[in-house]
Structure 1
Protein backbone atom coordinates (compact mmCIF):
# COMPACT_ATOMS: atom_id res chain seq x y z
CA UNK A 1 0.00 0.00 0.00
CA UNK A 2 1.53 3.34 -1.05
CA UNK A 3 1.41 6.59 0.89
CA UNK A 4 -1.50 7.98 -1.15
CA UNK A 5 -3.57 4.87 -0.48
CA UNK A 6 -2.64 4.90 3.18
CA UNK A 7 -4.11 8.38 3.66
CA UNK A 8 -7.40 7.18 2.19
CA UNK A 9 -7.91 4.74 5.04
CA UNK A 10 -8.10 4.96 8.80
CA UNK A 11 -5.35 3.40 10.89
CA UNK A 12 -5.86 -0.32 11.37
CA UNK A 13 -8.31 -1.19 14.13
CA UNK A 14 -9.16 -4.50 15.76
CA UNK A 15 -12.32 -6.48 16.48
CA UNK A 16 -12.52 -9.59 18.61
CA UNK A 17 -14.43 -12.84 18.24
CA UNK A 18 -13.30 -15.01 21.12
CA UNK A 19 -9.56 -15.53 20.79
CA UNK A 20 -9.52 -14.27 17.18
CA UNK A 21 -8.46 -10.67 16.47
CA UNK A 22 -9.71 -9.20 13.20
CA UNK A 23 -7.91 -6.32 11.48
CA UNK A 24 -10.08 -3.75 9.74
CA UNK A 25 -10.04 -0.16 8.52
CA UNK A 26 -12.47 2.32 7.01
CA UNK A 27 -12.32 4.70 4.07
CA UNK A 28 -11.93 8.38 4.98
CA UNK A 29 -14.15 9.47 2.10
CA UNK A 30 -17.88 9.05 2.56
CA UNK A 31 -17.64 8.37 6.27
CA UNK A 32 -21.16 9.69 6.86
CA UNK A 33 -22.79 7.38 4.32
CA UNK A 34 -24.64 4.10 4.64
CA UNK A 35 -22.47 1.36 6.19
CA UNK A 36 -20.97 -1.08 3.67
CA UNK A 37 -18.69 -3.90 4.81
CA UNK A 38 -16.36 -5.69 2.36
CA UNK A 39 -15.36 -9.35 2.86
CA UNK A 40 -12.51 -10.64 0.68
CA UNK A 41 -11.57 -14.00 -0.79
CA UNK A 42 -9.60 -17.12 0.01
CA UNK A 43 -6.42 -16.37 1.92
CA UNK A 44 -6.04 -12.81 0.68
CA UNK A 45 -5.94 -9.60 2.68
CA UNK A 46 -8.29 -6.62 2.57
CA UNK A 47 -6.01 -4.61 0.25
CA UNK A 48 -7.00 -6.74 -2.76
CA UNK A 49 -10.21 -4.71 -3.18
CA UNK A 50 -9.07 -1.76 -5.35
CA UNK A 51 -9.04 1.69 -3.78
CA UNK A 52 -10.64 3.07 -6.93
CA UNK A 53 -13.69 0.86 -6.52
CA UNK A 54 -13.95 1.74 -2.83
CA UNK A 55 -13.88 5.45 -3.69
CA UNK A 56 -16.63 4.93 -6.27
CA UNK A 57 -18.72 3.21 -3.60
CA UNK A 58 -18.11 6.16 -1.28
CA UNK A 59 -19.23 8.52 -4.05
CA UNK A 60 -22.43 6.48 -4.28
CA UNK A 61 -23.18 7.29 -0.63
CA UNK A 62 -21.55 4.45 1.28
CA UNK A 63 -19.29 4.46 4.32
CA UNK A 64 -16.87 1.71 3.30
CA UNK A 65 -15.02 -0.59 5.69
CA UNK A 66 -13.03 -3.74 4.96
CA UNK A 67 -11.49 -6.45 7.10
CA UNK A 68 -9.06 -9.35 6.98
CA UNK A 69 -10.80 -12.64 7.56
CA UNK A 70 -9.29 -14.98 10.12
CA UNK A 71 -6.24 -16.71 8.65
CA UNK A 72 -5.55 -13.80 6.31
CA UNK A 73 -3.73 -10.48 6.38
CA UNK A 74 -3.16 -9.00 9.81
CA UNK A 75 -5.92 -11.00 11.49
CA UNK A 76 -5.24 -14.01 13.71
CA UNK A 77 -3.73 -17.02 11.98
CA UNK A 78 -4.75 -20.30 13.56
CA UNK A 79 -2.38 -23.18 14.41
CA UNK A 80 -1.51 -25.62 11.62
CA UNK A 81 -3.83 -28.55 10.96
CA UNK A 82 -2.92 -31.97 9.50
CA UNK A 83 -4.42 -30.97 6.14
CA UNK A 84 -2.07 -28.52 4.44
CA UNK A 85 -3.38 -28.56 0.85
CA UNK A 86 -6.56 -26.65 -0.14
CA UNK A 87 -7.48 -29.34 -2.65
CA UNK A 88 -7.48 -32.05 -0.01
CA UNK A 89 -9.48 -29.76 2.29
CA UNK A 90 -12.04 -29.26 -0.45
CA UNK A 91 -12.42 -32.80 -1.69
CA UNK A 92 -11.05 -35.02 1.07
CA UNK A 93 -11.56 -35.43 4.78
CA UNK A 94 -11.72 -32.03 6.41
CA UNK A 95 -9.76 -31.04 9.48
CA UNK A 96 -12.02 -28.34 10.90
CA UNK A 97 -10.02 -25.67 12.73
CA UNK A 98 -13.17 -23.55 13.01
CA UNK A 99 -16.63 -23.43 11.47
CA UNK A 100 -18.21 -21.34 8.74
CA UNK A 101 -20.45 -19.99 11.49
CA UNK A 102 -17.33 -18.64 13.23
CA UNK A 103 -16.36 -16.80 10.05
CA UNK A 104 -19.85 -15.32 9.73
CA UNK A 105 -19.64 -14.15 13.33
CA UNK A 106 -16.28 -12.49 12.54
CA UNK A 107 -18.05 -10.12 10.14
CA UNK A 108 -20.57 -9.21 12.83
CA UNK A 109 -17.75 -8.64 15.33
CA UNK A 110 -16.23 -6.11 12.91
CA UNK A 111 -19.61 -4.39 12.56
CA UNK A 112 -19.84 -4.19 16.34
CA UNK A 113 -16.37 -2.63 16.57
CA UNK A 114 -17.39 -0.07 13.94
CA UNK A 115 -20.53 0.75 15.92
CA UNK A 116 -22.76 -0.43 13.07
CA UNK A 117 -26.07 -1.98 14.12
CA UNK A 118 -26.57 -3.08 10.50
CA UNK A 119 -24.76 -2.76 7.17
CA UNK A 120 -24.84 -3.57 3.50
CA UNK A 121 -22.51 -6.50 2.74
CA UNK A 122 -20.28 -7.05 -0.29
CA UNK A 123 -18.51 -10.41 -0.27
CA UNK A 124 -16.13 -11.55 -3.00
CA UNK A 125 -15.22 -15.19 -3.76
CA UNK A 126 -14.92 -16.91 -0.36
CA UNK A 127 -16.13 -13.62 1.11
CA UNK A 128 -19.31 -14.00 -0.95
CA UNK A 129 -20.05 -17.32 0.72
CA UNK A 130 -19.29 -15.75 4.11
CA UNK A 131 -21.67 -12.85 3.37
CA UNK A 132 -24.44 -15.28 2.41
CA UNK A 133 -23.97 -17.05 5.73
CA UNK A 134 -24.09 -13.76 7.65
CA UNK A 135 -27.46 -13.07 6.00
CA UNK A 136 -28.66 -16.48 7.19
CA UNK A 137 -27.21 -16.36 10.67
CA UNK A 138 -27.66 -12.65 11.44
CA UNK A 139 -30.44 -11.34 9.14
CA UNK A 140 -31.14 -8.40 11.43
CA UNK A 141 -27.63 -7.07 10.81
CA UNK A 142 -27.83 -7.15 6.98
CA UNK A 143 -29.45 -4.30 5.06
CA UNK A 144 -28.61 -5.87 1.70
CA UNK A 145 -26.39 -8.66 0.41
CA UNK A 146 -24.12 -8.57 -2.64
CA UNK A 147 -22.35 -11.84 -3.40
CA UNK A 148 -19.70 -11.70 -6.14
CA UNK A 149 -17.73 -14.51 -7.81
CA UNK A 150 -18.86 -16.98 -5.15
CA UNK A 151 -20.29 -20.47 -4.82
CA UNK A 152 -23.52 -21.06 -2.90
CA UNK A 153 -22.79 -20.59 0.80
CA UNK A 154 -24.41 -23.91 1.74
CA UNK A 155 -22.32 -25.97 -0.71
CA UNK A 156 -19.27 -27.91 0.43
CA UNK A 157 -17.03 -30.84 -0.43
CA UNK A 158 -17.61 -32.73 -3.64
CA UNK A 159 -20.78 -30.75 -4.39
CA UNK A 160 -18.53 -27.74 -4.97
CA UNK A 161 -16.95 -29.43 -8.00
CA UNK A 162 -19.89 -28.56 -10.24
CA UNK A 163 -19.09 -24.86 -9.84
CA UNK A 164 -15.29 -24.89 -10.14
CA UNK A 165 -13.24 -25.01 -13.33
CA UNK A 166 -11.00 -27.90 -12.44
CA UNK A 167 -8.36 -27.03 -15.06
CA UNK A 168 -7.79 -23.64 -13.42
CA UNK A 169 -7.80 -25.18 -9.96
CA UNK A 170 -5.14 -27.66 -11.09
CA UNK A 171 -3.02 -24.81 -12.49
CA UNK A 172 -3.40 -22.95 -9.20
CA UNK A 173 -2.26 -26.02 -7.27
CA UNK A 174 0.85 -26.32 -9.47
CA UNK A 175 1.96 -22.71 -9.03
CA UNK A 176 5.28 -22.32 -7.25
CA UNK A 177 6.61 -19.04 -5.90
CA UNK A 178 10.35 -19.31 -5.20
CA UNK A 179 10.69 -15.52 -5.48
CA UNK A 180 8.06 -14.73 -2.83
CA UNK A 181 4.82 -12.82 -2.52
CA UNK A 182 5.30 -10.34 -5.39
CA UNK A 183 5.74 -13.03 -8.03
CA UNK A 184 2.91 -14.98 -6.40
CA UNK A 185 0.60 -11.99 -6.71
CA UNK A 186 1.43 -11.54 -10.39
CA UNK A 187 0.95 -15.22 -11.17
CA UNK A 188 -2.38 -15.39 -9.36
CA UNK A 189 -3.61 -12.17 -11.02
CA UNK A 190 -2.70 -13.58 -14.46
CA UNK A 191 -4.45 -16.86 -13.73
CA UNK A 192 -7.68 -15.19 -12.55
CA UNK A 193 -7.93 -12.44 -15.19
CA UNK A 194 -10.43 -12.51 -18.03
CA UNK A 195 -8.93 -14.01 -21.19
CA UNK A 196 -10.92 -11.44 -23.20
CA UNK A 197 -8.72 -8.58 -22.06
CA UNK A 198 -4.94 -8.23 -22.52
CA UNK A 199 -3.21 -8.97 -19.23
CA UNK A 200 -1.54 -5.81 -17.91
CA UNK A 201 1.57 -7.25 -16.28
CA UNK A 202 3.13 -3.88 -15.32
CA UNK A 203 -0.07 -2.92 -13.46
CA UNK A 204 -0.21 -6.35 -11.82
CA UNK A 205 3.42 -6.04 -10.74
CA UNK A 206 2.84 -2.57 -9.34
CA UNK A 207 -0.15 -3.83 -7.36
CA UNK A 208 1.81 -6.84 -6.10
CA UNK A 209 4.72 -4.66 -4.99
CA UNK A 210 2.36 -2.36 -3.09
CA UNK A 211 0.59 -5.35 -1.55
CA UNK A 212 3.02 -8.24 -1.15
CA UNK A 213 0.41 -10.53 0.39
CA UNK A 214 1.77 -13.91 1.46
CA UNK A 215 -1.81 -15.16 1.76
CA UNK A 216 -1.95 -15.93 -1.96
CA UNK A 217 0.42 -18.83 -1.40
CA UNK A 218 -0.29 -19.74 2.25
CA UNK A 219 -1.81 -23.15 1.62
CA UNK A 220 -2.14 -23.93 5.33
CA UNK A 221 -4.32 -20.87 5.94
CA UNK A 222 -6.35 -21.50 2.78
CA UNK A 223 -6.90 -25.10 3.85
CA UNK A 224 -8.30 -24.00 7.20
CA UNK A 225 -10.63 -21.50 5.54
CA UNK A 226 -11.88 -24.08 3.04
CA UNK A 227 -12.26 -26.62 5.82
CA UNK A 228 -14.71 -24.38 7.72
CA UNK A 229 -18.01 -26.19 7.24
CA UNK A 230 -21.49 -24.68 7.31
CA UNK A 231 -24.04 -26.34 9.58
CA UNK A 232 -26.91 -23.89 9.14
CA UNK A 233 -29.95 -23.53 6.87
CA UNK A 234 -29.84 -23.46 3.05
CA UNK A 235 -29.40 -20.21 1.17
CA UNK A 236 -33.03 -20.44 0.06
CA UNK A 237 -33.82 -19.18 3.58
CA UNK A 238 -32.11 -15.82 2.94
CA UNK A 239 -34.67 -13.03 3.23
CA UNK A 240 -32.50 -9.95 2.68
CA UNK A 241 -32.44 -8.11 -0.67
CA UNK A 242 -29.76 -9.84 -2.71
CA UNK A 243 -27.63 -9.02 -5.74
CA UNK A 244 -25.44 -11.66 -7.34
CA UNK A 245 -22.50 -10.43 -9.43
CA UNK A 246 -20.32 -12.76 -11.47
CA UNK A 247 -17.67 -12.28 -14.11
CA UNK A 248 -18.89 -13.68 -17.43
CA UNK A 249 -15.33 -14.88 -18.10
CA UNK A 250 -14.50 -16.12 -14.59
CA UNK A 251 -11.77 -18.74 -15.14
CA UNK A 252 -12.11 -20.24 -11.63
CA UNK A 253 -15.76 -20.19 -10.53
CA UNK A 254 -18.24 -20.92 -13.31
CA UNK A 255 -20.94 -18.31 -13.92
CA UNK A 256 -23.34 -21.16 -13.24
CA UNK A 257 -22.50 -20.71 -9.56
CA UNK A 258 -23.88 -17.18 -9.67
CA UNK A 259 -26.94 -18.40 -11.53
CA UNK A 260 -27.50 -21.09 -8.89
CA UNK A 261 -27.27 -18.57 -6.05
CA UNK A 262 -29.68 -16.17 -7.74
CA UNK A 263 -32.16 -18.95 -8.52
CA UNK A 264 -32.24 -20.19 -4.93
CA UNK A 265 -32.43 -16.92 -2.98
CA UNK A 266 -35.93 -15.45 -3.24
CA UNK A 267 -36.09 -12.36 -5.48
CA UNK A 268 -32.32 -12.25 -5.95
CA UNK A 269 -31.05 -10.58 -9.13
CA UNK A 270 -28.12 -11.85 -11.19
CA UNK A 271 -25.78 -9.54 -13.12
CA UNK A 272 -23.10 -11.10 -15.33
CA UNK A 273 -20.20 -8.71 -15.87
CA UNK A 274 -18.76 -8.85 -19.42
CA UNK A 275 -14.98 -9.16 -19.86
CA UNK A 276 -14.53 -9.80 -16.14
CA UNK A 277 -12.76 -12.82 -14.67
CA UNK A 278 -12.28 -13.72 -11.00
CA UNK A 279 -11.11 -10.17 -10.32
CA UNK A 280 -12.03 -6.49 -9.91
CA UNK A 281 -10.90 -4.83 -13.17
CA UNK A 282 -11.29 -1.09 -13.53
CA UNK A 283 -13.66 -1.52 -16.46
CA UNK A 284 -16.24 -3.03 -14.08
CA UNK A 285 -15.97 -0.60 -11.14
CA UNK A 286 -18.72 1.78 -12.23
CA UNK A 287 -21.16 -1.04 -12.99
CA UNK A 288 -20.46 -2.74 -9.66
CA UNK A 289 -20.88 0.48 -7.68
CA UNK A 290 -24.10 1.51 -9.40
CA UNK A 291 -25.62 -1.96 -9.07
CA UNK A 292 -24.89 -2.00 -5.33
CA UNK A 293 -26.34 1.51 -5.01
CA UNK A 294 -29.51 0.35 -6.74
CA UNK A 295 -29.81 -2.64 -4.43
CA UNK A 296 -29.38 -0.42 -1.38
CA UNK A 297 -32.06 1.95 -2.62
CA UNK A 298 -34.49 -0.92 -3.16
CA UNK A 299 -33.94 -2.13 0.41
CA UNK A 300 -34.63 1.17 2.16
CA UNK A 301 -38.34 0.56 2.72
CA UNK A 302 -37.83 -2.95 4.08
CA UNK A 303 -37.69 -3.34 7.87
CA UNK A 304 -34.84 -5.37 9.34
CA UNK A 305 -35.96 -8.68 10.83
CA UNK A 306 -35.09 -9.63 14.42
CA UNK A 307 -31.54 -10.95 14.66
CA UNK A 308 -31.18 -14.66 15.36
Structure 2
Protein backbone atom coordinates (compact mmCIF):
# COMPACT_ATOMS: atom_id res chain seq x y z
CA UNK A 1 0.00 0.00 0.00
CA UNK A 2 1.23 3.51 -0.88
CA UNK A 3 2.48 5.61 2.03
CA UNK A 4 0.18 8.54 2.70
CA UNK A 5 0.36 11.69 4.83
CA UNK A 6 -3.06 13.30 5.40
CA UNK A 7 -3.66 16.98 4.55
CA UNK A 8 -1.67 19.49 6.56
CA UNK A 9 -1.23 23.26 6.41
CA UNK A 10 2.08 25.09 6.35
CA UNK A 11 3.08 28.76 6.16
CA UNK A 12 4.76 29.59 2.84
CA UNK A 13 5.35 32.87 1.00
CA UNK A 14 3.28 34.70 3.59
CA UNK A 15 0.15 32.54 3.21
CA UNK A 16 -1.17 29.21 4.48
CA UNK A 17 -0.96 26.35 1.99
CA UNK A 18 -2.82 23.07 2.44
CA UNK A 19 -0.99 20.05 1.04
CA UNK A 20 -1.10 16.26 1.03
CA UNK A 21 1.60 13.67 0.31
CA UNK A 22 1.44 10.24 -1.33
CA UNK A 23 4.52 8.00 -1.49
CA UNK A 24 7.75 7.38 0.37
CA UNK A 25 9.90 10.20 1.74
CA UNK A 26 12.97 9.00 -0.17
CA UNK A 27 11.22 8.87 -3.56
CA UNK A 28 11.62 11.49 -6.31
CA UNK A 29 9.61 14.57 -5.22
CA UNK A 30 6.85 15.51 -7.67
CA UNK A 31 4.51 18.48 -7.17
CA UNK A 32 1.06 18.50 -8.75
CA UNK A 33 -0.24 22.01 -9.46
CA UNK A 34 -3.95 22.29 -10.24
CA UNK A 35 -5.76 24.77 -12.46
CA UNK A 36 -8.17 27.68 -12.24
CA UNK A 37 -10.78 27.30 -9.50
CA UNK A 38 -9.82 23.67 -8.94
CA UNK A 39 -8.90 22.26 -5.54
CA UNK A 40 -6.04 19.85 -5.02
CA UNK A 41 -8.54 16.97 -4.88
CA UNK A 42 -9.14 17.45 -8.60
CA UNK A 43 -5.96 15.41 -8.79
CA UNK A 44 -7.88 12.23 -7.95
CA UNK A 45 -6.65 10.19 -4.98
CA UNK A 46 -6.17 7.15 -7.22
CA UNK A 47 -4.20 9.21 -9.76
CA UNK A 48 -1.83 10.35 -7.00
CA UNK A 49 -1.53 6.82 -5.62
CA UNK A 50 -0.72 5.41 -9.05
CA UNK A 51 1.95 8.06 -9.62
CA UNK A 52 3.44 7.23 -6.23
CA UNK A 53 3.78 3.54 -7.18
CA UNK A 54 6.11 4.68 -9.98
CA UNK A 55 8.67 5.87 -7.45
CA UNK A 56 7.50 9.43 -6.75
CA UNK A 57 6.79 11.34 -3.56
CA UNK A 58 3.63 13.01 -4.86
CA UNK A 59 2.62 16.33 -3.29
CA UNK A 60 -0.67 17.94 -4.22
CA UNK A 61 -1.77 21.26 -2.76
CA UNK A 62 -4.44 23.93 -2.88
CA UNK A 63 -3.34 27.08 -4.68
CA UNK A 64 -3.95 30.39 -2.95
CA UNK A 65 -7.60 31.44 -2.99
CA UNK A 66 -8.96 27.89 -3.25
CA UNK A 67 -9.80 24.99 -0.96
CA UNK A 68 -8.11 25.05 2.42
CA UNK A 69 -5.27 27.41 1.50
CA UNK A 70 -5.45 31.12 2.34
CA UNK A 71 -8.31 33.08 0.79
CA UNK A 72 -7.25 36.60 -0.12
CA UNK A 73 -9.33 39.75 -0.54
CA UNK A 74 -9.81 42.50 -3.09
CA UNK A 75 -10.54 42.65 -6.78
CA UNK A 76 -13.84 42.66 -8.66
CA UNK A 77 -15.51 40.05 -10.81
CA UNK A 78 -14.09 40.07 -14.34
CA UNK A 79 -16.46 41.58 -16.89
CA UNK A 80 -16.91 40.60 -20.55
CA UNK A 81 -15.97 44.18 -21.48
CA UNK A 82 -12.58 43.79 -19.79
CA UNK A 83 -12.01 40.59 -21.74
CA UNK A 84 -12.86 42.32 -25.01
CA UNK A 85 -10.50 45.20 -24.19
CA UNK A 86 -7.72 42.74 -23.38
CA UNK A 87 -8.23 40.64 -26.50
CA UNK A 88 -8.67 43.37 -29.08
CA UNK A 89 -7.09 46.49 -27.57
CA UNK A 90 -4.43 44.82 -25.39
CA UNK A 91 -5.59 46.86 -22.39
CA UNK A 92 -4.22 45.02 -19.31
CA UNK A 93 -6.50 43.49 -16.70
CA UNK A 94 -6.02 44.68 -13.10
CA UNK A 95 -5.08 41.88 -10.66
CA UNK A 96 -4.53 41.42 -6.93
CA UNK A 97 -1.62 39.10 -7.72
CA UNK A 98 -0.05 37.42 -10.74
CA UNK A 99 1.24 33.98 -11.72
CA UNK A 100 4.71 34.84 -10.40
CA UNK A 101 3.19 35.15 -6.91
CA UNK A 102 1.61 31.70 -7.29
CA UNK A 103 4.98 30.39 -8.49
CA UNK A 104 6.52 31.79 -5.32
CA UNK A 105 3.84 29.95 -3.32
CA UNK A 106 5.00 26.71 -4.95
CA UNK A 107 8.64 27.39 -4.15
CA UNK A 108 7.67 28.46 -0.63
CA UNK A 109 5.92 25.13 -0.12
CA UNK A 110 9.05 23.32 -1.33
CA UNK A 111 11.12 25.35 1.14
CA UNK A 112 8.75 24.52 4.00
CA UNK A 113 8.98 20.81 3.16
CA UNK A 114 12.77 20.89 2.80
CA UNK A 115 12.69 20.08 -0.93
CA UNK A 116 15.61 21.60 -2.86
CA UNK A 117 14.26 20.62 -6.29
CA UNK A 118 11.33 18.64 -7.64
CA UNK A 119 9.54 17.48 -10.75
CA UNK A 120 6.63 19.81 -11.53
CA UNK A 121 3.39 18.67 -13.16
CA UNK A 122 0.85 21.40 -13.79
CA UNK A 123 -2.60 21.27 -15.37
CA UNK A 124 -4.16 24.28 -17.13
CA UNK A 125 -3.39 27.32 -14.94
CA UNK A 126 -1.21 24.92 -12.95
CA UNK A 127 0.85 24.40 -16.10
CA UNK A 128 1.28 28.17 -16.37
CA UNK A 129 2.42 28.32 -12.74
CA UNK A 130 4.83 25.42 -13.34
CA UNK A 131 6.22 27.26 -16.38
CA UNK A 132 6.70 30.38 -14.27
CA UNK A 133 8.54 28.42 -11.55
CA UNK A 134 10.79 26.94 -14.25
CA UNK A 135 11.48 30.40 -15.69
CA UNK A 136 12.06 32.21 -12.40
CA UNK A 137 13.56 29.42 -10.26
CA UNK A 138 15.13 26.98 -12.76
CA UNK A 139 17.43 25.42 -10.18
CA UNK A 140 14.37 24.19 -8.25
CA UNK A 141 12.89 22.20 -11.16
CA UNK A 142 14.10 18.70 -12.09
CA UNK A 143 11.61 18.35 -14.93
CA UNK A 144 8.53 20.17 -16.17
CA UNK A 145 5.30 18.58 -17.39
CA UNK A 146 2.75 21.08 -18.71
CA UNK A 147 -0.71 19.57 -19.25
CA UNK A 148 -3.58 21.22 -21.19
CA UNK A 149 -1.90 24.60 -20.74
CA UNK A 150 -0.47 27.37 -22.89
CA UNK A 151 2.17 30.09 -23.11
CA UNK A 152 -0.09 33.11 -22.71
CA UNK A 153 0.40 33.87 -26.40
CA UNK A 154 -2.62 36.03 -27.39
CA UNK A 155 -2.60 34.52 -30.90
CA UNK A 156 -3.80 31.14 -29.61
CA UNK A 157 -7.43 30.55 -30.63
CA UNK A 158 -9.95 31.26 -27.85
CA UNK A 159 -12.09 28.72 -25.97
CA UNK A 160 -15.23 27.36 -27.60
CA UNK A 161 -18.34 29.45 -27.05
CA UNK A 162 -19.72 26.84 -24.64
CA UNK A 163 -16.51 26.70 -22.59
CA UNK A 164 -16.23 30.50 -22.49
CA UNK A 165 -19.84 30.83 -21.30
CA UNK A 166 -19.12 28.32 -18.54
CA UNK A 167 -16.03 30.29 -17.48
CA UNK A 168 -17.92 33.59 -17.27
CA UNK A 169 -21.11 32.23 -15.67
CA UNK A 170 -22.09 33.75 -12.29
CA UNK A 171 -21.31 31.56 -9.29
CA UNK A 172 -24.00 29.14 -8.07
CA UNK A 173 -26.26 30.49 -5.33
CA UNK A 174 -26.97 27.23 -3.51
CA UNK A 175 -25.57 23.78 -2.94
CA UNK A 176 -28.20 22.31 -5.26
CA UNK A 177 -27.22 24.70 -8.04
CA UNK A 178 -23.54 23.93 -7.44
CA UNK A 179 -24.14 20.17 -7.71
CA UNK A 180 -25.91 20.59 -11.05
CA UNK A 181 -23.35 23.09 -12.34
CA UNK A 182 -20.45 20.80 -11.39
CA UNK A 183 -21.73 17.99 -13.60
CA UNK A 184 -22.55 20.36 -16.46
CA UNK A 185 -19.14 22.02 -16.29
CA UNK A 186 -17.15 18.80 -16.42
CA UNK A 187 -19.31 17.45 -19.21
CA UNK A 188 -18.36 20.50 -21.28
CA UNK A 189 -14.69 20.27 -20.33
CA UNK A 190 -14.39 16.54 -21.08
CA UNK A 191 -15.79 17.19 -24.57
CA UNK A 192 -16.99 13.63 -25.06
CA UNK A 193 -18.89 10.69 -23.58
CA UNK A 194 -17.40 9.59 -20.26
CA UNK A 195 -20.17 7.80 -18.32
CA UNK A 196 -17.64 6.33 -15.88
CA UNK A 197 -16.62 9.88 -14.90
CA UNK A 198 -20.18 11.21 -14.75
CA UNK A 199 -21.06 8.43 -12.29
CA UNK A 200 -18.40 9.77 -9.92
CA UNK A 201 -19.21 13.47 -10.35
CA UNK A 202 -21.85 13.73 -7.57
CA UNK A 203 -19.41 12.36 -4.99
CA UNK A 204 -16.65 14.62 -6.25
CA UNK A 205 -18.95 17.63 -6.10
CA UNK A 206 -19.93 16.79 -2.50
CA UNK A 207 -16.29 16.62 -1.50
CA UNK A 208 -15.41 19.92 -3.20
CA UNK A 209 -18.41 21.66 -1.62
CA UNK A 210 -17.53 20.29 1.83
CA UNK A 211 -14.02 21.74 1.59
CA UNK A 212 -15.49 25.16 0.81
CA UNK A 213 -16.09 27.34 -2.23
CA UNK A 214 -14.49 30.72 -2.92
CA UNK A 215 -16.00 32.31 -6.07
CA UNK A 216 -14.22 35.63 -5.45
CA UNK A 217 -10.91 33.75 -5.26
CA UNK A 218 -11.56 32.06 -8.59
CA UNK A 219 -12.08 35.52 -10.05
CA UNK A 220 -8.74 36.69 -8.63
CA UNK A 221 -7.03 33.61 -10.09
CA UNK A 222 -8.51 34.34 -13.52
CA UNK A 223 -7.28 37.93 -13.30
CA UNK A 224 -3.82 36.63 -12.36
CA UNK A 225 -3.71 34.52 -15.53
CA UNK A 226 -4.86 37.36 -17.78
CA UNK A 227 -2.65 40.00 -16.14
CA UNK A 228 0.52 37.91 -16.41
CA UNK A 229 0.85 38.20 -20.18
CA UNK A 230 2.77 35.93 -22.52
CA UNK A 231 5.68 33.71 -21.49
CA UNK A 232 6.40 32.63 -25.07
CA UNK A 233 9.64 34.58 -25.65
CA UNK A 234 10.99 33.81 -22.18
CA UNK A 235 10.32 30.10 -22.67
CA UNK A 236 12.89 30.01 -25.48
CA UNK A 237 15.60 30.11 -22.77
CA UNK A 238 14.32 27.09 -20.79
CA UNK A 239 16.81 24.22 -20.52
CA UNK A 240 14.76 22.11 -18.07
CA UNK A 241 13.58 18.79 -19.57
CA UNK A 242 10.00 19.47 -20.62
CA UNK A 243 7.01 17.34 -21.56
CA UNK A 244 3.83 18.91 -22.93
CA UNK A 245 0.56 16.91 -22.84
CA UNK A 246 -2.61 18.17 -24.49
CA UNK A 247 -5.92 16.77 -25.65
CA UNK A 248 -6.93 17.05 -29.28
CA UNK A 249 -10.47 18.23 -28.42
CA UNK A 250 -9.73 20.63 -25.54
CA UNK A 251 -12.59 23.19 -25.54
CA UNK A 252 -11.05 25.59 -23.00
CA UNK A 253 -7.34 25.80 -23.86
CA UNK A 254 -7.15 25.23 -27.61
CA UNK A 255 -4.81 22.39 -28.69
CA UNK A 256 -2.66 25.06 -30.35
CA UNK A 257 -1.82 26.20 -26.80
CA UNK A 258 -0.07 22.92 -26.11
CA UNK A 259 1.66 22.94 -29.49
CA UNK A 260 2.83 26.51 -28.90
CA UNK A 261 4.23 25.55 -25.50
CA UNK A 262 6.21 22.66 -26.96
CA UNK A 263 7.43 24.79 -29.88
CA UNK A 264 8.58 27.56 -27.51
CA UNK A 265 10.71 25.37 -25.22
CA UNK A 266 13.89 23.90 -26.73
CA UNK A 267 13.83 20.09 -26.98
CA UNK A 268 10.38 19.83 -25.40
CA UNK A 269 8.44 16.64 -26.10
CA UNK A 270 4.80 16.91 -27.19
CA UNK A 271 2.15 14.28 -26.49
CA UNK A 272 -1.25 14.96 -28.09
CA UNK A 273 -3.92 12.59 -26.75
CA UNK A 274 -6.78 11.88 -29.18
CA UNK A 275 -10.23 12.43 -27.69
CA UNK A 276 -9.01 14.17 -24.55
CA UNK A 277 -10.60 17.49 -23.65
CA UNK A 278 -9.80 19.80 -20.74
CA UNK A 279 -9.87 17.13 -18.05
CA UNK A 280 -8.01 14.03 -16.89
CA UNK A 281 -10.48 11.14 -17.28
CA UNK A 282 -9.47 7.75 -15.90
CA UNK A 283 -9.32 6.13 -19.33
CA UNK A 284 -6.33 8.37 -20.18
CA UNK A 285 -4.41 7.79 -16.95
CA UNK A 286 -2.22 4.92 -18.22
CA UNK A 287 -0.94 7.10 -21.06
CA UNK A 288 -0.55 10.24 -18.94
CA UNK A 289 1.08 8.55 -15.95
CA UNK A 290 3.28 6.46 -18.20
CA UNK A 291 4.49 9.56 -20.01
CA UNK A 292 5.19 11.45 -16.75
CA UNK A 293 7.00 8.41 -15.35
CA UNK A 294 9.25 8.04 -18.40
CA UNK A 295 9.92 11.77 -18.65
CA UNK A 296 10.65 12.52 -14.99
CA UNK A 297 12.72 9.43 -14.28
CA UNK A 298 14.57 9.96 -17.56
CA UNK A 299 15.42 13.52 -16.51
CA UNK A 300 16.56 12.28 -13.08
CA UNK A 301 18.79 9.63 -14.66
CA UNK A 302 20.43 12.15 -17.00
CA UNK A 303 21.06 14.54 -14.11
CA UNK A 304 22.64 11.86 -11.91
TM-score, scaled relative to structure 2:
0.86
Structure 2 residue corresponding to 1:84, chosen from 41, 55, 77: 77
What residue number does 1:281 align with?
Answer: 281
State the 1:187 CA deviation.
2.3
Q: Which residues in structure 2 correspond to 1:31-50 (within 5 Å)?
A: 31-50=25-44
Alpha-carbon spacing, 1:208–1:160, altered in 2? closer, same or farther (3 Å): farther
Q: How does 1:1-308 map to 2 (within 5 A)?
A: 8-18=4-14, 20-27=15-22, 29-81=23-75, 83-85=76-78, 87=80, 90-91=83-84, 92=86, 93-152=92-151, 154-155=152-153, 159=154, 162-174=157-169, 177-180=172-175, 181-198=178-195, 200-212=197-209, 214-215=213-214, 219-229=218-228, 234-303=234-303
How many angstroms does 1:89 deviate by?
Answer: 5.8
Q: Deviations over 1:145-176 (max 9, x none)?
A: 00001111x53xxx165253344212432466
Contact 2:27 2:57 in 1 (8 A): yes
How many Å separate the matches in 1 of 2:38 and 2:147? 15
TM-score (norm. length: structure 1): 0.85
Corresponding residue SS for 2:135: helix
Q: Is the 8 A contact 1:163 1:254 kept in 2?
A: yes
CA contact (8 A) 2:10 2:16 kept: yes
Asked if structure 1 preserves the Cα contact closer than 8 Å seen for 2:145 and 2:245, the reply is: yes
Q: How far apart are 1:199 and its partner, in Å?
A: 7.1
Deviation of 1:303 after TM superposition, in Å, equals 4.3
CA distance in 1, matches of 2:104, 2:82: 22
Matched-pair contact (CA < 8 Å) for 1:101–1:133: yes
**What SS does the corresponding residue of 1:237 show, helix, strand or coil?**
coil
* TM-align CA RMSD: 2.6
Cα drift, residue 217 of structure 1 = 8.1
Distance in 1 (alpha carbons) for counterparts of 2:99 and 2:164: 22
Q: In the alignment, is the contact (CA less than 8 A) between 1:42 and 1:225 conserved in 2?
A: no
How many pairs were matched up?
Answer: 292
Structure 1 stretches of at least 4 aligned residues deviating more than 6 Å after TM superposition: none
Which residue number in structure 2 is paired with residue 3 of structure 1?
Answer: none
